[in-house]
Amino acid sequence: MSRQKAPPKTPAVDPRLELFQAVGRDLYLTGLVSSHTGTMSVRDSETGIKITKQNAMLGRLTNDDLIELPAQGEVPELAPLDGNIH
């Protein structure tokens, strides 16, 4: 009898993703950012900051491009270099 693998869990989609995508796409289409420049963030009173990770394409953001940046403590490895100014 063979066991079936459980399907991989899909990460929860951030409810703010559509807003990040719309703003990122507008910034890119109007020429205000190039394909891999710029960082967007939004403050979250409970967790710190939701921010686009290093090298995220603002014109084509996915849920995987958003990371949590804690208000205090260890900075995630994929955090953008300018994360401290957000």
List, for residues 21-74, the tens digit of each pLDDT value. Answer: 999 999 999 999 887 888 888 887 777 888 899 889 999 999 999 988 887 778
Amino acid in position 62:
T
Please say whether the beta carbons of 36 and 55 come within 8 A. Answer: yes
Q: pLDDT band for position 3 (50/70/90)?
A: low
- Cα three-residue angle 30-51-10, rounded to 5 degrees: 105
